[in-house]
Structure 1
Amino acid sequence: MIESYNYHGNYPAAISLYKRTIEEGQPVLANTFNVVLKSYSRMQDVDGARKALNTMRSFGYEPKLRAYNELLLCYGDASFTSEALELFDLLREFGPEPDFYTYAMIIKIQGEAGKVQEANKLFLDMMSVGILPNLVVYSTMIKMYCQNFDMVKAEEMFKMMLDDNIKADASVFNIMIEGYCKNKQMSRAEDVVFEMLRSGLKPRENTLSELVRGYVLLGLHDRAEMLTRAVRGKGMELQDRDYGKLIISYARRGQRSKVEGTVRKLLEKGHAMTTRLCNDLIMAYILCNDLEKALTVFESMKKRGVVCDPWTYTGLIDGVVRRHGYNCEKAADLFTEWKGKQFAETWEDGTVFVNLVPYSVCSALTAVWYGTPLLEKYSNVNVSWF
């Protein structure tokens, strides 16, 4: 039954039954201890795994490598990096001798912890004892180098993998693309994207987002547009935030026709006008000094049932006040409408704020209200946290 619970992913039940079995003094097979160690590992319960290993010894069973591998995995899942390396060193010195899975796990643990030198040494040690890395190990090493902005090493590892006749999968390509983007090597990232497409693989949405964002930040708007066309030609779609970045970049350059053309093409393809996309379109019109159009989009959102979130109101109020292209009373009306809605934002520490007002909007409205007839009308509105 313990094995069954573990197999179906019910790890708490497997552990509970194991404890009851021990308390009742019933016999436990060696393999059952291995299964229980796996359950503790999945629960990231290091103390429980250690106790299970000691109990295994008290039953007269000498733990095999499988048991130690489960404990090593538990250390890794619980981010016990030092303990994992210490256990690995003990295995190499006293046995049982680490196998492929042991090396793969310890390299992954060190790599994810950002311990580049340790991971690289373990990788070389692995090959020195005649154990060849597979795609997962290479992927771990490549990802580690990319995260540490060492694309030279990442490229060397990628080439080594190909030389070992290990074919790169979509995950490895995505890691390389995102690594190049973070290093602002956009041309190399683009080369890998097209290499993927030629191989019949598709980049994931987040990877494409990184590439589009990188082009826009570097001011390479034409390249971002070209990539968008190429991706759509392969039957893939960018995310709303990526189209939003393109729309905003066109607006900043005063290319209103491209803003509207991009939105028109999306609508023709049946793309829904989501809150995020509408917010970006509102901001684009504000950047193009067309507040009438921005407010038209806002009214269309309400009529079509598209949710107006805090960013919708923030963009409009900020635009109305700062551009001075519309009656300032409209800004106050928008703020009052916003105040009447319930928007909740939860911070990382669990604190919940309702109707959180950005400082820029508070400053803009305060500047408008003071010294104007609007002050008396809206004096009951608290421009602060509430």
Structure 2
Amino acid sequence: MVLLMGLHSRAPVSSTAVISVSAFSTVLLPGKFRINVVGNKNSEFGLGVRERSSPRLSIRLQASKRQNWAEEPLVRGKVTKRAMQVIRDVRIWGQEKHDDIQALHRILDEWAARKKPERRDLLDVLKDFDNYLDREILFKLTEWSFNQEWFEANARDYTKLIERYGKAGRVEDAERTLQMMEASGNVIDMVVLTVMIGIYGKTRQLEKALETFETVKERGFTPDIRTYNSLMVAYGYAGKLREAELLLEEMTMAGVLPDRETYCALINGYGRLGQVEQAQRVFELMVSRGVKPTTKVCTALLDAYGKVGDADSARVIFDSLRVNGFIPDDRAVTLMLKAYERRDLLNKAVGLVVELESAGIKLGSETLTTLIGWFGRLGLLAEAEEIFTEMERKEVTIKPKTCALMYKAYSRAGQLDKAEEFAEIMKGRGIVFSANNGMGFSSEAIQLEVR
């Protein structure tokens, strides 16, 4: 695999530099077989006897109900045959007329009437669409399923949908689903209330998060570590770090021991405010209390240093991950590159990429998207194109943000026709982005920056 050796080994990059970049099967599992016994209901093996016939062993082989369907490339997971058929039809609908909700309902209604699916079949369908690119289809499928009596939607089904709406920033839909959940007779328990606290927190609606936290207590539930952590995140996003520190004391007094997520929320909160000394203090407090750091916690501290432009300290933390046996994940690598980008240290960033790939660490979607944006800003269109091409070839997830940055790279280079052609190609693949919103970022892409 060709790396960024050319750029790494020479003087700082200019707008005419050439960089060689390389970014990063469905296995058909054998069916499981069961031996059914004729004439013996209680045994796994037995002899069946026919009239006027000598005893013989009667064996029936039955394939596992869930399979990988190699003949249906539109089906990604291991699903039942009934699920496979409707997944294929829904994906075709998504490619051809994804805005026609009535057509989708006809497909689903006909499937339900013809195939008489069970709950597990529909769960397989939902699981196959449970990914970033199919998220809008998943929402439509899930809401349709809740109207099917035979599906028998339970509290956890509603909670999952609420959680996914929250991740998409669709707070009103999450609230509406919560009302549907209560109207359907499902109990509003502490699990779903905790999810709502997290949704309100990450969308900077601290008052609603606090109201929901009080609802937990009013309904007779005892807040657990997840509930406290969700509120801690809400305080962090709101910049209320003094209140967050008081919550830390409240947790301890209530007998709920803070964990890594608790301290990570505090570190992230101080990092957003650029208070890196406080973030470091919380990190050291965590370690002194015997809570071992993880990649996520170290990444939060790394980000805090990166936001204030201290790329050297951020790199020390990044290197400590590998020294302590952790493999930096996509987010950690991305934040380290962003720390370098704030200081225009492209050569150091490329050196890091070379080092990681030499160690066998693959670059993920966020990392490669960051490089595309950086190269585009420098006018290095060929290098940005090469990364995007490798993402396609290696089937690395391409998000609207990735496309928006690639579009912007074409625009900066004055290749507006190619930019529009690129947008049409991506639209044909189901990836829609806004070229004008946020200087080339879609609103969804901007939301991805908020963690």
Q: TM-score, with normalisation over the residues of structure 2?
A: 0.45
Residue 16 (1) aligns with residue 173 (2): no
Pair 1:57–1:228, CA change in 2 (3 A): closer
Q: Distance in 1 between matches of 2:160 and 2:354?
A: 41
Name 1:38's counterpart in structure 2.
195
Aligned residues: 245
Name which of 236, 239, 243 aligns with 2:406: 239
Residue 157 in structure 1 maps to residue 321 in structure 2: no
Secondary structure at the aligned position of 2:291 is classed as coil
Q: Which of structures 1 and 2 has the bigger CA Rg?
A: 1
Partner amino acid, structure 1, of 2:194: L
* Partner secondary structure for residue 418 of structure 2: coil
| Amino acid across the alignment from 2:368 | R
Give the equivalent residue in structure 2 for 1:50. Answer: 210
Amino acid at match of 1:239: M
RMSD: 4.1
Give 2:377's aligned residue: 213
Task: Give me the whole-angstrom Cα distance separating, in 1, the residues matched to 2:200 and 2:225.
Answer: 20
Judging changes above 3 Å, is the alpha-carbon distance between structure 1 residues 225 and 97 closer, same or farther for their aligned structure 2 residues?
closer
Partner of 2:300: 140
Match of 1:338 in 2: none
Residue in structure 2 matched with residue 83 of structure 1 by the alignment: 243
- In structure 2, the partner of 1:352 is none
Question: Alpha carbons of 1:89 and 1:197: their partners in 2 closer, same or farther (altered >3 Å)?
Answer: same
Uncovered stretches (5+) of structure 2, i.e. residues with no partner: 1-153, 163-172, 394-404, 423-435, 440-451
Corresponding residue number in structure 1 for 2:291: 131
**In 1, Cα distance between the equivalents of 2:178 and 2:259?**
27
Instruction: Tell me: CA distance 1:151–1:63, structure 2 relative to 1, closer, same or farther (3 Å).
Output: same
Question: Is the 2:193–2:216 Cα contact (8 Å) retained in structure 1?
Answer: no
Contact 1:100 1:131 in 2 (8 A): yes
- Contact 2:197/2:213 (CA < 8 Å) preserved in 1? no
Partner of 1:106: 266
Summarize the Cα distance change of 1:276–1:189 in structure 2 as closer, same or farther, 3 Å threshold.
Answer: farther
Alignment CA distance shift 1:206-1:63 (3 Å): closer
Distance 2:388 2:187 in 1: 58
1:166 aligned onto 2:326: yes
CA distance in 1, matches of 2:371, 2:310: 18
- Structure 1 residues 47 and 17 mapped into 2: Cα distance closer, same or farther (>3 Å)? farther
Q: Distance in 1 between matches of 2:346 and 2:212?
A: 50
The one-letter code sitting in structure 2 at the alignment partner of 1:107 is I
Q: Any idea what the Cα deviations from partners look like across 1:156-184, whole Å, max 9, x if unmatched?
A: 11121111111112332222222212212
Q: 1:94 to 1:272 in 2, by over 3 A?
A: same
Q: Which moved more, 1:183-192 or 1:194-203?
A: 194-203
Matched, 1:273 2:438: no
Alignment of 1:274-353 (within 5 A): 274-275=419-420
Q: Distance in 2 between matches of 1:129 and 1:13?
A: 41
**Aligned: 1:201 with 2:362:** yes
* Aligned counterparts of 2:418 and 2:212: Cα–Cα separation in 1: 55
Larger relative contact order (Cα-Cα within 8 Å, sequence gap ≥ 6): 2
Structure 2 counterpart of 1:7? 160
1:86 maps to amino acid: L
Could you give the per-residue CA deviations for residues 290-345 of structure 1, whole angstroms, max 9, x where no partner exists? xxxxxxxxxxxxxxxxxxxxxxxxxxxxxxxxxxxxxxxxxxxxxxxxxxxxxxx9
TM-aligned CA deviation for residue 87 of structure 1: 1.2
Structure 2 counterpart of 1:184, one-letter code: D
Secondary structure at 1:201 match in 2: coil
User: Which residue identity lines up with residue 209 of structure 1 in the other structure?
Assistant: G
Question: Identity of aligned pairs, percent?
Answer: 19
Residues 14, 76 of structure 1: CA spacing in aligned structure 2 closer, same or farther, 3 A cutoff?
farther
* Mean CA deviation greater in 194-203 or 144-153: 194-203
Residue 170 of structure 1 contacts residue 196 of structure 1 at CA under 8 Å; is this kept in 2? no
Q: Secondary structure at the match of 1:239?
A: helix
2:223 is aligned to 63
Alpha carbons of 1:230 and 1:50: their partners in 2 closer, same or farther (altered >3 Å)?
A: closer
User: What's the counterpart of residue 72 of structure 1?
Assistant: 232
Residue 176 of structure 1 is matched in structure 2 by 336
CA contact (8 A) 1:15 1:40 kept: no
Change (3 A) 1:235 1:84: closer
2:20 corresponds to: none
> Distance in 2 between the 1:47 and 1:86 partners?
17
Deviation digits for residues 62-113 of structure 1 (CA, Å, limit 9, x no counterpart): 4333322232233345554443233123324554221222122222222233
What amino acid is aligned across from residue 16 of structure 1 in structure 2? Q
Is the 8 Å Cα contact of residues 337 and 370 (structure 2) preserved in structure 1?
Answer: no
Q: Is contact 1:33–1:53 with CA below 8 Å preserved after alignment?
A: no
Amino acid at match of 1:83: E
Aligned-partner Cα distance in 2 for 1:227–1:51: 50
Alpha-carbon distance between aligned partners in 2 of 1:184 and 1:97, rounded to the nearest angstrom: 42
Distance 1:130 1:239, change over 3 A: same
One-letter amino acid matched to 1:8: L
Alignment counterpart, residue 96 of structure 1, candidates 256, 261, 267: 256
1:89–1:117 Cα change, 3 Å: farther
Residue 225 of structure 2 aligns to which amino acid in structure 1? L
When residues 72 and 34 of structure 1 are mapped into structure 2, their CA distance, relative to the original with a 3 A threshold, is: farther
Residues 1:172 and 1:58: Cα distance change in structure 2 (over 3 Å): closer
Contact 1:3–1:14 (8 Å) recurs in 2: no
